[in-house]
Amino acid sequence: MGSIWAKTAQVPRSDKLRSDLKTDVLIIGGGLAGVLCAWKLAQAGVDYALVEADRIGCGITWNTTAKITSQHGLIYDELIREFGTDRARLYLEANQGALAEYRALCRDIQCDFEEKDAFVYSLDDRKKLDRELEALDELGFPAELVERIPLPFPVAGAIRFPRQAQFHPLRFLAAIAGDLRIFERTKVLELSPGKAVTTGGTISADKIVVATHFPLLNKHGSYFLKLYQHRSYVLALDNAPDVGGMYLDEDEKGLSFRNYGGLLLLGGGSHRTGKRGGGWAELERFVCRDYPDAQIAARWATQDCMTLDGVPYIGPYSKGTTGLYVATGFNKWGMTSSMAAASVLTDLILDRKDPYAELFSPSRTMLRPQLAVNALESALGLFTPTAPRCPHMGCALKYNAAEHSWDCPCHGSRFGEDGALVNGPAAGDKRGL
């Protein structure tokens, strides 16, 4: 079963590239981040082209829960402790600015844009909520602590962010993509300075943006160490309550809730790709217990790139790759982060000073605890004796019974039972599964 977005939107089709091409800026990847970047460049009068290996919006954008919010879990207390108040404020400003851009754009786009309050709740840790509220007060943001929320279980409390939003991501994407210079079913086979060899021809460009969810190049930027991937699952429920807002457990393995139309979207069951997790079975048990009259109308899963410190990597690909840019590591908040990324990258491409470029710089320090976890997972994957191995960097693949796929716990590549590539960073199919 696919997402409700895919069932209720028509995304415009574009032709394949069929000859060599010269452009000022090439964007690789047709998810929301890439398309928004193309849209902003077009608005600025820049010569650009976007290539997508499949159809635009068919990856993570297709499978999001489509919350537009600057409330990314209980992140602001952590950001202040890790980066200081000024940088935490920049992160908040960047995301609130992205929300404001969506609000303005969606006045003229039929994409079911709705302002909703967002809530992060804790089942049992009031102290975490108190610390987050203190951090937000220090940043001058009008959040508040609420004691009760309309979910079928008791909570220690929740932090409310007013006037956040939700929408239909593919209807929005379809509206902004219609007049853009896009080539679909055009896969990049080789990337070198100022040049991309694709299945439809060679593209020469002064500047290149890699917006492919997980970056293409291994030998620059150390993204295979700086990123790991996480899977999460969604059930769309008919005959379930309208919860009146957007809700998220502060625990990474907790649940999320939002409504769309007459459906309740229940998310959760998450786990690192290639590891065991609750999946849809965990959500089904919750529905059986807490929403016994509900029926499952749709189900889908998604995959997110996670960074070492909870902040996306947006900017120059690495210190040694002039004219090459990247947007990745959106940490499950791809809607807001896509708009922020498009704004930052457009400024960098146009040689304009951007107030958030340093915050999101992919070249910031890697010395975070998560780095050791990622390195350990890679070592375990490389030295695990098993027959199916990932063609990306040789790690052992694990069978995912819930989704009938072979998944890599090192870097998150996934393959169908027939060996067809489902998710990168692997560049091609896995033969012999």
Q: What is the CATH number of the domain that holds 298?
A: 3.30.9.10
H-helix or E-strand spanning residue 183 = strand 182-183
* Residue 92 lies inside a defined structural domain of this protein: no
Q: What percent of the chain has pLDDT over 70?
A: 98
Residue 181 belongs to domain with CATH number: 3.50.50.60
pLDDT (tens digit per residue) in 305-333: 999 999 999 999 999 899 999 999 999 99
Per-residue pLDDT, 432:
65
Phi-psi region of 29 (alpha: psi -120 to 50; beta: other; left: phi over 0): left
* Tokens 């091609």, located at residue: 428
DSSP string across 132-152: HHHHHHHHT---EEES--SSS
Q: Residue 161 has which token pair?
A: 């962010």
> Quick one: how far is CA 251 from the chain centroid?
18
Query: 218 and 326 in one domain?
Result: yes
Same domain for 374 and 413: yes
Q: Are 261 and 290 found together in one domain? A: yes
Residues 150 and 236 in one domain: yes
Average pLDDT of 208-226?
92
How much is the pLDDT for 377? Answer: 75
Whose tokens are 């790709």? That residue is 273
Q: Give 25-58 pLDDT, tens digit per residue.
A: 999 999 999 999 999 999 999 999 999 999 999 9
Give tens-digit pLDDT for 114-140. Answer: 999 999 999 999 999 999 999 999 999
pLDDT above 70 for 90: yes
Residue 88 domain-assigned (yes or no): no
Average pLDDT value over all residues in the chain: 94
Q: pLDDT tens, 245-264?
A: 999 999 989 999 999 999 99
CA distance 312 to 330: 5
The residues, ordered by sequence, that sit 6+ positions from 275 with a Cβ below 8 Å of its Cβ are 398, 409
All residues at 6 or more sequence positions from 280 whose CB lies less than 8 Å from its CB, including other chains: 233, 235, 269, 299, 301, 402
Inter-residue contact 127 to 90 (CB < 8 Å): no
Domain with residue 406: its CATH number is 2.102.10.10
Answer yes or no: is 24 within a domain: yes
Residue 24 structure tokens = 């000022």
**Residue 151: band (very low, low, confident or very high) from pLDDT cuts 50, 70, 90:** very high
Same domain, 292 and 326: no
**Could you tell me if residue 430 is inside a domain?**
no
> Residue 402 is part of which domain span?
369-423
From 308, 303, 265, select the one nearest 287 (Cα to Cα).
265
The DSSP H or E segment spanning 419 is none
Contacts of 268 (CB under 8 A, 6+ apart): 232, 233, 249, 253, 254, 255, 256, 278, 282, 283, 286
User: Are residues 350 and 265 part of one domain?
Assistant: no
Residue 103, domain member (yes or no): no
The verdict on 265 and 299 lying in the same domain is yes
Q: Are residues 37 and 76 in the same domain?
A: no
